[in-house]
């Protein structure tokens, strides 16, 4: 991940939107590399949990309805977030990324590799459950196109998820369609 973030910062410029930043681990790494980062997450407590950084601006919001101006960021980083959305939510979030991104910008998204939907219990709640959606690559390409993005590059990587299980992750580097 560190190498991937480094490479993403190398090929992009301007403010980075970390969409679904969690406790800002990736946002802080980008900030340490000299980038201004807007870290958006739906859970304010997560945004407050990590170490603060002067270049990271935490914003509690839904990535499907971003409180950001159009063309206001040069890059969007969205790691392990869109896997919690059905196709409609995913296209809505991507549409928001497209709106806030400059026309020459890149978006990097990562989701679990697979196909289908699953629901898992939450360790700290009997009321809420975690919903996971996985999409085959062809379907992802179509959803990205529906939102106005083309796939510049795609690859996979093995990484542990938040539960410690090693997963195959599908990564896509997106550019706005002309």
**Which of 25/99 has CB closer to ligand SAM?**
25
Calpha distance 113→170 (Å, rounded)? 5
Q: Residue 151: name the closest of 168, 135, 167 by CA.
A: 135
Kindly list the distances between the CA atom of residue 96 and the CA atoms of 62, 90, 156, in Å, as whole numbers in the listed order.
10, 10, 25
166/159 Cα distance (integer angstroms) = 5
Among positions 81, 98, 140, 173, the unique one binding ligand SAM when judged by CB under 6 A:
81
Stretch that binds ligand SAM, among 75-83, 97-105, 127-135, 140-148 (CB under 6 A): 75-83
Nearer to ligand SAM (CB atom), residue 98 or residue 177: 98
- The nearest distance, CB 91 to ligand SAM, in angstroms, is 13
Taking the complex as a whole, the smallest distance from the CB of residue 178 to ligand SAM amounts, in Å, to 28
Backbone CA torsion sign across 23, 26, 27, 28: positive
Find the binding residues for ligand SAM in span 137-176 (CB under 6 A).
Answer: 162
Per the structure block, which two tokens stand in for 13?
């410029």
The minimum distance between CB 106 and ligand SAM, in angstroms, equals 17
Between 7 and 46, how does the x/- string for binding to ligand SAM read (CB under 6 A)?
-------------xxx--xx--------------xxx--x
The rounded distance, in Å, linking the Cα atoms of 138 and 121 is 29
């Amino acid at each position: 991940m560190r190498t991937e973030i480094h490479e993403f910062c190398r090929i992009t410029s301007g403010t980075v939107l970390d969409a679904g930043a969690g406790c800002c681990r990736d946002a802080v790494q980008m900030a340490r590399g000299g980038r201004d980062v807007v870290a958006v997450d739906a859970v304010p407590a997560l945004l407050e949990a990590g170490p603060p950084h002067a270049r990271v601006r935490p914003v509690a919001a839904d990535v499907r309805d971003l409180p950001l101006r159009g063309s206001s960021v040069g890059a969007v980083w969205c790691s392990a977030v869109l896997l919690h959305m059905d196709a409609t939510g995913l296209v809505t979030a991507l549409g928001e990324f497209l709106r806030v991104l400059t026309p020459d910008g890149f978006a990097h998204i990562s989701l679990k590799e697979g196909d289908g939907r699953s629901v898992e219990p939450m360790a700290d709640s009997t009321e809420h459950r975690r919903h996971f959606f996985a999409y085959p690559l062809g379907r992802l390409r179509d959803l990205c196109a529906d939102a106005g993005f083309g796939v510049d590059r795609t690859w996979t990587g093995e990484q542990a998820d938040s539960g410690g299980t090693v997963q195959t992750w599908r990564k896509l580097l997106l550019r706005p369609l002309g």
